[in-house]
């Protein structure tokens, strides 16, 4: 996921958005989102929710290939859901980490 954030930041510039660089974030992002959805630490609703940004980014990818603009409502929604998903993952990873620390401490 860190690689995809780096690609996303590389696509942004001071003056303009480089669509070709930005659209390449989809290639490593979709497999990583699917693999993270398999993690059993997360509840089923979060695992299913994690697939929504991947589907939206895939939709954006095919739209851009067909000539549609990159920055449209599907892109904004996909980024928003992607960030919400990652925050939820962080919360559940923190909960699991605290649970493991409590199991170790006497």
> In this structure, is residue 10 part of a structural domain?
no
Which three-class secondary structure state does DSSP give residue 58? Answer: helix
Could you read off the pLDDT tens digit of each residue along the chain, which spans 106 residues? 666 666 666 666 666 566 666 677 777 778 888 888 888 889 999 999 988 988 998 898 888 888 888 778 888 898 899 889 989 999 999 999 999 888 887 6
Q: CB neighbours of 26 closer than 8 A, spacing ≥ 6?
A: 57, 58, 60, 61
> In this structure, is residue 41 part of a structural domain?
yes
> In this structure, is residue 9 part of a structural domain?
no
How many distinct structural domains can be found in the chain?
A: 1
Query: Has this prediction a pTM greater than 0.85?
Result: no
> In this structure, is residue 73 part of a structural domain?
yes
> In this structure, is residue 100 part of a structural domain?
yes
Task: Give the domain range for residue 48.
Answer: 29-104
């Amino acid at each position: 996921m860190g690689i995809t954030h780096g690609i996303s930041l590389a696509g942004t510039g001071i003056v303009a958005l480089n669509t070709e660089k930005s659209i390449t974030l989809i290639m490593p992002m979709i497999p990583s989102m699917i693999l993270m959805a398999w993690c059993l630490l997360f509840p089923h609703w979060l695992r299913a929710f994690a697939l929504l940004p991947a589907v939206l980014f895939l939709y954006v990818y095919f739209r851009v290939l067909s000539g549609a603009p990159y920055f449209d409502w599907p892109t904004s929604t996909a980024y928003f859901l992607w960030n919400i998903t990652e925050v939820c993952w962080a919360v559940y990873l923190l909960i699991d980490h605290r649970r493991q620390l409590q199991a170790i401490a006497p």
